[in-house]
């Protein structure tokens, strides 16, 4: 399981870097006129990257589902490690299958 998780970490890190790149491209596109052929070309590449990102995330989701349905499911999860590794407490709670605090208003979760 350790090797699988390490490989997933590498893959997800690469996807996060691609997302940041797409954010930069979107900012450029929003600030420029649509008539610039160079910017249009960059948008086409960005949309292709977004498509690849979407497909990769779908594949990773299917892999996680398959792993969860396999013998790996019997290994215990260190819930403290999950909570301390993630900045978003709502994400950690959802990943651990814990109910979210009903007193908290829905919306964006901000972090520093």
pLDDT in tens, 82-110: 899 989 898 888 888 887 665 554 555 55
What b/e readout covers 66-77, taking b as 16+ CB neighbours within 10 angstroms? eeeeeeeeeeee
Q: What is the pLDDT of residue 1?
A: 62
- pTM (2 decimals)? 0.65
CA distance 109 to 97: 18
**pLDDT, mean over the chain:** 77
- Name the nearest CA neighbour of 30 among 16, 46, 15, 17: 46
What's the mean pLDDT in 60-75? Answer: 84
Q: Are 52 and 28 in contact (CB under 8 A)?
A: no
Q: In this predicted model, which residue has the larger pLDDT, 91 or 36? A: 91
| 95 Cβ contact list (under 8 Å, min separation 6) | 82, 86
13 or 106: which leads in pLDDT = 13
Residue scoring higher pLDDT (95 or 31): 95
């Amino acid at each position: 399981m350790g090797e699988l998780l390490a490989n997933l970490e590498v893959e997800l890190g690469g996807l996060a870097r691609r997302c940041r790149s797409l954010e930069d491209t979107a900012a450029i596109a929003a600030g420029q006129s649509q008539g610039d052929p160079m910017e249009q070309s960059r948008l086409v590449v960005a949309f292709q990257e977004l498509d690849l990102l979407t497909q990769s995330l779908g594949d990773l989701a299917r892999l996680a589902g398959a792993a969860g349905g396999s013998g790996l499911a019997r290994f215990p999860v260190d819930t403290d490690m999950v909570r301390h590794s993630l900045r978003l407490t709502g994400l950690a709670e959802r990943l651990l299958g814990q109910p979210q605090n009903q007193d908290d208003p829905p919306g964006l979760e901000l972090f520093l």
